[in-house]
Amino acid sequence: MQYALAIDTKRCIGCNTCAVACKIENNLPDTMWWNRVLTVGGDHTDTPQGSFPHLSMSYITLSCQHCKNPACTKVCPVGATYKDSETGIVMQDYKKCIGCRYCMAACPYNGVRNFNWREPEYTFDFSQGSEDVPSLVKGTVSKCILCNHRVKKGLEPACVAACPERARTFGDIDDPNSAISKLLASRSNYQLLDEKGTNPSVRFLS
Amino acid sequence: MRKVASVAAVVAVIGLCAWIFQCMNGLQVTGMRDQSSWGLYITNFMFFVGLSAGGLIISSAPKVFKLKGFGNISKVAVLTSIVCTILAICFVVVDLGSPWNIWHLFVYGHFTSPLMWDLCVLTLYLVLSIVYLVMLRREDDAAGVSSKLRGMSIAAFLVAILVHSVTAWIFSLNVSRAFWNTSLMAPWFVASALVSGTALVLVVVVALRRAGKLRLEDENVQKMAFILGVFVAVDLFFLFCDVLTGAYGGAGDAYDAIIMVLAGPVAPFFWAEVILGVVCLVIAFKPRLRASANLCVVASICAILGVFCKRAQIIEDGFGNVNLTYPGVETGPAVHGADGAWQGIGSALAYWPTGLECLVVLGIIALGVAVFCFVYPKIGQDR
Ligand code: SF4
């Protein structure tokens, strides 16, 4: 089994709802984002690519790619980041992590692994997240775990459930009959940095 | 020596306080962020493993290959190596975000990690070099080399090569960073280790001689300076191979990584390395210049700084050259944030250390000086 995300770049409007839903669900501290919306082309965020009048604008979302051949899990000296054999999700164990940040050096995708550089700080003095998310720990690495706590209960990850454009599809890509496999079979799609050989489970429909 | 040791001890204590401050406040007090997750500490880790391995190799090589050595430098060189190994381990420890979890390495050790390999080899290396020093102290060089000592030299020599190769693999096995991902890195690290290790031993023995703590003929200083020149030449050759291979393609990840060191924000480190190397070569290969022990020390300092510049490039280019080129990707979450320290991909250095990091580094180096001064009188060096 390999849980995966398919993101429809034709549907995505760059509204950042998924990023915010993720932040709330996982009770992420101020300034930390596990999922971000990035503009394709353009010189700055939210600027079009191409030159007038041939302009176009599209977005991708960037979070842990839950690779089939992850670079991070191999290099972790204590096995604090590991591929869950049941779900294919790349997990993160805050209790085990020693904070060497080797996984961050080994991951080819920029900024998807987030280190807790300080004691997590929150604007609100109450927790916003789901009650079953573990608290973040100073001096350890954290990242998207595909809302493992929701998936276990049969729910979709928060970012998928929240997307107003229904641009995000979640499912098992090892099962040819799953909705996501059918969607990927019917549409052209790509992976980020496929040349690195990590075989990401996040696909972008184009 | 007493005085040096006490001053160093005070600096070491200041460094320790700085590290405790860092532990309490988290690594936010360093210049490292999500985008450039390693900095001065890991730079120094690579650098000191090199200093250590190089020192041990030049002290054991004459025994391994049954050559005439460099006079009675063996014990000093091995002691320098031991101190540098201890410092290298310290640099990894201060880099950890959760040093209180360090025991996890022994309990949950995950052996696909090159960091784990390095830990094993470093420990083995430290033990071997301490045993080696004890053996050297017992059998004074005059009586010739016993077969036991020779066996030990061979073991120490091989593990010294291995230890710096594994350190190279920590970086070069990553597909994520174009600048690192080259099979040249391990042999190159060994060459650089020989450069910086020989240079450090040369500086230390000349200083000890000046202080009247070591007897050493000028001829041996010159010989070391010459061999240093040879090592620098090999190191520069590897540098050229790497640059040519990256640049020749004219496009792609490897090309971008090389352009970043040739003409990008990391260029000062690259050109400093080249210039320092050439200065060292000139002094080492001109018999008239080499005749002056002071100039030999200058050459050595150039060589050491040159290798440090290479180590800095590995960090700056590795992290500065991002793979995903969407605007804003390099800002990263929780990182440079609103202060906008980043100006865009590849246009600025990815990382610059804070004063606190420098204090910790100075403290660790001072610890090494203090340990060296403390142990040196006990190794039975004839004066
Ligand atoms: S930072 Fe934590 S998860 Fe990452 S490699 Fe080090 S110990 Fe493993």
Answer whether A107 contacts ligand 1 (Cβ < 6 A). no
Q: What is the mean pLDDT of residues B191-204?
A: 96
* Cβ contacts from A onto B, under 8 A: 172
Contacts of A99 in chain B (CB under 8 A): 27, 96-99, 101
Distance (Å, rounded) from C-alpha B109 to C-alpha B311?
A: 27
Summarize the confidence of residues B344-370 as an average pLDDT. 87
B102/A98 touch (CB, cutoff 8 Å), yes or no: yes
Nearest CA to A81 out of A63, A109, A61, A101 is that of A101
Contact A2, A65 (CB under 8 A): no
**DSSP notation for B13-53:** HHHHHHHHHHHHH-GGGSS--SSS---HHHHHHHHHHHHHH
The predicted-structure confidence for B120-161, as pLDDT tens digits, reads as follows 999 999 999 999 999 988 876 555 667 888 899 999 999 999
| pLDDT higher than threshold 60 for residue B180 | yes
Which residues are A115's β-sheet partners? Answer: A141
Q: Is A113 helix (H, G, I), strand (E, B) or coil?
A: strand
Angle between helices B293-320 and B218-248 (to 10 degrees): 20
Any residues with CB less than 8 A from the CB of B205 and at least 6 apart, and which? Answer: B73, B76, B214, B216, B221, B224
Distance CA B135, CA B133 (A): 5
Range B192-197 average pLDDT: 96
Interchain CB distance below 8 Å, B27 and A99:
yes
Residues of A in contact with B328 (CB under 8 A): 36, 38-39, 44-45
Cross-strand bridge partners of residue A82: A91
pLDDT confidence bin for B334, thresholds 50/70/90: very low
Is the C-beta atom of A180 inside 6 A of ligand 1? no
Exposure on the CB side of residue B52, measured as CA atoms within 13 A: 31
Whether residue A164 is preceded by a cis peptide bond, meaning omega within 30 degrees of 0, is: no
Q: Is A79 on the interface with B (CB under 8 A)?
A: yes
Amino acid letter at A71?
A: A
Chain B touched by A81 (CB under 8 Å): no
Average pLDDT over residues A15-28: 95
B346 or B279, which is more confident: B279
Q: What is the pLDDT of residues B285-315, one digit of tens each?
A: 999 999 999 999 999 999 999 999 999 999 9
CATH, domain range A3-205: 3.30.70.20
Which residues have CB under 8 Å from A94's CB, separation 6+? A80, A134, A135, A136, A137, A140, A142
Rounded-to-5 percentages of helix, strand, coil across chain B? 75, 0, 25
Distance of alpha carbon A6 from alpha carbon B382, whole angstroms: 72
Average pLDDT, integer, range B36-49: 96
Q: Which residue has better confidence, A10 or B144?
A: A10
Question: Taking CA B50 as the corner, what is the angle to CA B255 and CA B22, rounded to the nearest 5 degrees?
Answer: 90
Does the beta-carbon distance from B34 to A111 stay under 8 Å?
Answer: yes
Q: β-strand A168-172 against A202-205: which pairing, if any?
A: unpaired
Locate tokens 């971000």: which residue?
Answer: A36
Residue B187, pLDDT > 60, answer yes
**Cα A204 to Cα A189: distance, rounded to the nearest angstrom:** 5
pTM score of the predicted model: 0.93
B30/B39 Cα distance (integer angstroms): 9
Distance from C-alpha of B361 to C-alpha of B353, rounded to nearest angstrom = 10
* Domain ranges for chain A: 3-205
Q: Determine the atom of ligand 1 nearest the C-alpha atom of A102.
A: 5
Give the whole-angstrom CA distance, residue B375 versus residue B80. 10
SS3 A82: strand
Cα B152 to Cα B129: distance, rounded to the nearest angstrom? 9
DSSP B277-324: HHHHHHHHH-HHHHT-HHHHHHHHHHHHHHHHHHHHHHHHHHHHS-S-
Is A37 within 8 Å of chain B by CB?
no
pLDDT at A73 exceeding the cut of 60: yes
- What pLDDT score was predicted for residue B140? 64
- Whether the pLDDT of residue A63 is over 90: the answer is yes
Per-residue pLDDT reduced to its tens digit, B200-248: 999 999 999 999 888 888 899 999 999 999 999 999 999 999 999 999 9
Distance CA B40, CA B361 (A): 8
Cis peptide before A53 (omega within 30 of 0): yes
Q: Does residue B174 carry a pLDDT above 50?
A: yes
Chain A residues touching B96 at Cβ < 8 A:
98-100, 139
Residue B34, pLDDT > 90, answer: no
Tell me if residue A102 falls in helix, strand or coil. helix
Q: Tell the residue nearest (CA) to atom 4 of ligand 1.
A: A103
**Which helix (H) or strand (E) element contains residue B115?**
helix B114-138
Tokens (6 digits) for B146: 């016993």
Contact assessment for residue A79 and residue B368, using Cβ atoms and an 8 Å cutoff: no
Residues B372, B51 contacting (CB under 8 angstroms)? no
What domains, with CATH codes, occur in chain B? 2-322+346-379 (1.20.1630.10)
B294 φψ region: left (φ > 0), alpha (ψ -120 to 50), beta (else): alpha
Is residue A37 within 8 A of residue A19, CB to CB? The reply is yes
| pLDDT over 90 (residue B363) | yes
Mean pLDDT of chain B: 90
Query: Above 0.90 for ipTM, yes or no?
Result: yes
Measure the CA–CA gap between B14 and B11, rounded to whole angstroms: 5
- Selection from B259, B280, B67, B329 nearest residue A45 by Cα: B329
Which of A103, A137, A140, A144 for mutating ligand 1's site (highest number of atoms within 8 Å of CB)? Answer: A103
